[in-house]
Structure 1
Amino acid sequence: MEDILDTFLVLVDGRPHPDHPADGNLVRRLTEKMGQLTFSLSKVKARHDIAAAIEEIKRQLQEGAERRARYRVDDVLARPAAAATSIDPRLAALFTKRSQLVGMNVPMSTLINMLSASDDDMSNRKMKIVCVVGFGGIVKTTLAKRVFDEFKANFCCAAFVSVGRIPDLKKVFRDILINLGHTDSNLMVLDETQLINSVRGFLESKRYFIVIDDIWDEPSWNIIRCALDDNNLGSRIIITTRIHAVAEKVGCSYQMEPLSYESSKQLFCGRIFGFGSKCPDLFSEISEKLLRKCGGVPLAIITTSSLLANKPRNIKVWSELCDSIGSGFESNQDMDNMRKILSLSYIDLPCHLKNCVLYLSIFP
């Protein structure tokens, strides 16, 4: 219909010609009006065709509405045979081998020191919450899991649960209870309030250690925090997030930093040539280019090196991969997972920074 209206404006809805503006001359004005009348009479066929076209569209709309009512489309519910479920790409970070972890010693010792008890007995009994904050792919989850494995033996019970960008808080509370060893079989029928009360009741007299991974907003953390009661038994909590507002809410935070060049190189070469091995001189220059593109982000280094490990050790192949990394032409499961994780950081940017990133992508 918009197209038809545009046609109407062009063919029918005439305007006084800009070269002949109306003025005070009566004869000239009369001549122009007569010309416009003649011009209008010559467009009767165009008016008729446009009216017919609009009527045809109205007729098609009416038929569509009648078909919709006849086949009762709104009453049909989609029931796929097997709903496609996406696998959390961060899941692999929970099961990374210790031998493959590089540059973790300093962050681990720092985080453990932040969680450890002090000399003050009263301070020891207070619950401590530490937030690990950093952008996607900087291995916050890997660090939290490593500290969790090292530290959990010091507590009565422990749990590691993930939240995610679109949180299901019922599932989060159920996961906490199940990880802590709660055996109630009625968890699925409880609402949020009942689940919070169950968590608080279960932890009331226990010294616990809980990791809440990947929190995206303050409201979600505020609700989860309600379930984690400070019972003055020296419990510890780690949360990981990309959102600095969440970290500021917690107060005590550890900022994750990209890997140093040496650690990046160690991780990169270890994935391709075996840990403890050095990069051959033939590939040293192209390796430096690839590492600069990865920018010290462990996820990018691991993904790129894993891709190269499955390719021929040929300088031309490596150069082609280096040129194609930013274009998205290279594709495998690891690359897709990396893009999925990093794209979440892009989605969370404010609009003006999204535009900035798009310009940088177009004009690297």
Structure 2
Amino acid sequence: MAETVVNFVLGKLGDMIVKEAQFLGEVGDKVKWVETELIRIKCYLTDADSKRRKGDARAENWLNELRDVAYRIEDATDTFYVEIEDSRQGVEGSPQKDHRFLAKLKRFGHKTTKLPALHKLGTELDDIKKALEGIFESTVHYQINPLQERGKAETVLMPLRRTTYQDANETEVVGLDDDKNNVCKLLLDSEIRRRAVVTIVGPVGKTTLAHMVYKSVQADFDFHIMLPVSQQYNPTDLLRKLLTKFKGSEPPTLDIDDLISELKGSLSSKRYLIILDDVWVTDLWNQYLKDALLDVENGSRVLMTSRLIEVAQSANPIMKHYELKFLNEEDSCNLLDADFSTFKFIP
């Protein structure tokens, strides 16, 4: 399991380095460092897994630490892409009347809108770097030994589950078609008029699937938005982003109770789709969104992604959560037979 996740994340980082090379700047060096460190740590996975199977608790703890850091890397890169996509849409949807100025915004927006996301990514990678250094140093303490060192060019990635989410509608995706269709059916089920929450649960692949679904069904809703959440979310900022998207402009400074009240009044007349990516806590729904997203029985939907089953269980009893699994044998074979020039691999 740990090796699968590490390979997924390595594919993601490699894709980011190629796709965003001219914009990453100093952050690009951090991405490359993390990629190199993960490749070095991979040499220890076989021995660690062998010890774990024999009941070595220290090896199991080491593998769990590595898996958690790999998930953090996935979250950081997914959040980066979701935020720049949201910023880009903000530029394209600008109400500016000066079309020449708007054209300039569109031309340079892909550069300027990435700056806050780049800063956030760089800060998270600094913390991840410290965590990876600690994991590597702990191999001595846990008595985990490496295989023969392998260079980057010799590293073989396992069959991956998805492409970068921003290219998901332009490239072939192996193993996600059925998942997308199933989730779309849940969101568009006309028999359920209540506001309902669908949660995609799984270790990897959640963001790409959510974005594919978003692109497929957004035209069926009056209002739609996809927002990253992550572990360090701020409920006030999240509610403000929702209200800003709905009104088309930045609202005045409001406390969280006023934001909930404003959203309750604004969204009550709309059939909405709100996608919240990478949710870690149950109180996001129970304490804030449940009251803000009024249920007027018009088929509105909330789609959340999380790797925690507790989030799905706490959100909504109307619909069962959707569990995203790894590729089955048939899809893995299809991937191996595919033309790899059409793929940009990340988890």
- TM-score normalised over the length of structure 1: 0.47
RCO greater where, 1 or 2, for CA within 8 Å and sep 6 or more?
2
- TM-score normalised over the length of structure 2: 0.49
Q: In terms of Rg, which structure is larger?
A: 1
